[in-house]
Structure 1
């Protein structure tokens, strides 16, 4: 891993970027603050000007990740255009794209053990991102008769679990988990089966 060689500018951001690089290589618990400092090209003491410890640094990485994620999800949903179904499917694809393009952020957000309740800002940003999925689910669920309509939060949680499972098993390159099908296809067909079960899609759609 190439040392970043920090000289001037935003030290806090340099440390976050070093943290993200280390997470991709070693996981969220596989590195120390001293390693993050070395990767950023500063002394370990310099880290404490901005972060109280490793968890604080990872929490900032997660916060930045949720902000990117929220923007991606909002763009994918696009106020339910061109249809509730298409917008809903687009949020699932945006989830996979984010995990693929921002693996360090993804791990900091979902696999580091950092609670979104750690700070008000983290909670608000995470809620904005995850709220897009709930909004998409709530709108789409209006096509299900009220007597068998799942709560939007449950609907969204099912799709989130499916998306997360595809990412973990097949989109991260984990040894021994290669699939003969692209992750995007797996997610799309999985969502299709789920929506058929609810009666939103016809059996032959």
Structure 2
């Protein structure tokens, strides 16, 4: 692959972009810093001006991913209003769309083994994405008396896990895991069944 050109001041981002391509092609542990440097068109020594090691480089890719992800989730939630259910379903579809459109970021965020607490910045970006779903869960349960209301953090965690499962099993086209239904339909019906079971939406919604 030809070397990248870069201008003074954006080497850090050039290295992140190179890492994202390598992560998508080889996985988070399938490349070296030297390969990232070569792809960015610089010497290996230049990498260490910005990153102490490969995990730091992946962590920054994950942080950027979570920032993009949080923005997309917030946009989807706002667009889905005024119905809380529609907003919830919109965030689920946004999850699938992000995984498809930004596989390098997605892998860095969820499959690299990098802790979201590795840096304060990464932790904050991850929390902002979770907060969107938690706010959606809070809005959806406002009609239920507080003493009977399920914890918003539990509801959002379940929806996140369901979205992640659909992505991993079906949306990323893993061999042998083809579904007879579109991933969006699987997720939307799953969210509906779950929320009806909790009593958060009427049975005929």
Alignment TM class, shorter chain as reference:
over 0.9
1:20-46 deviation line (CA, Å, top 9, x unaligned): 001111111111111111111211111
Residues 50-199 of structure 1: pairs in structure 2 closer than 5 A: 50-78=50-78, 81-199=81-199
- The structural deviation recorded for 1:8 is 2.7
Number of equivalent positions: 204
**Aligned residues: CA RMSD:** 1.6
Residues 96 and 79 of structure 1: CA distance in aligned 2, closer, same or farther (over 3 Å): closer
Q: Secondary structure of 2:141's partner?
A: helix
Partner of 2:30: 30
Residue 8 in structure 1 maps to residue 37 in structure 2: no
- The structural deviation recorded for 1:176 is 1.0
Provide the rounded CA distance (Å) in 1 between the counterparts of 2:90 and 2:80.
10
Can you give the 5+ residue segments of structure 2 that lack an aligned partner in the other structure? Answer: none
Can you give the 5+ residue segments of structure 1 that lack an aligned partner in the other structure? Answer: none
Provide the rounded CA distance (Å) in 1 between the counterparts of 2:186 and 2:35.
37
Provide the rounded CA distance (Å) in 1 between the counterparts of 2:186 and 2:80.
23
Task: Answer yes or no: is the 8 Å Cα contact 1:80–1:136 preserved in 2.
Answer: no
Provide the rounded CA distance (Å) in 2 between the counterparts of 1:113 and 1:186.
27
- The structural deviation recorded for 1:147 is 4.3
Task: Answer yes or no: is the 8 Å Cα contact 1:3–1:38 preserved in 2.
Answer: no
TM-score, normalising length: structure 2: 0.93
Provide the rounded CA distance (Å) in 2 between the counterparts of 1:158 and 1:145.
21
Provide the rounded CA distance (Å) in 1 between the counterparts of 2:144 and 2:80.
17
TM-score, normalising length: structure 1: 0.93
Task: Answer yes or no: is the 8 Å Cα contact 2:6–2:14 preserved in 1.
Answer: no
Task: Answer yes or no: is the 8 Å Cα contact 1:166–1:186 preserved in 2.
Answer: yes
Provide the rounded CA distance (Å) in 1 between the counterparts of 2:84 and 2:130.
17
Task: Answer yes or no: is the 8 Å Cα contact 1:89–1:188 preserved in 2.
Answer: yes
Task: Answer yes or no: is the 8 Å Cα contact 1:4–1:18 preserved in 2.
Answer: no
Partner of 1:44: 44
Q: Secondary structure of 1:118's partner?
A: coil
Provide the rounded CA distance (Å) in 2 between the counterparts of 1:72 and 1:182.
21
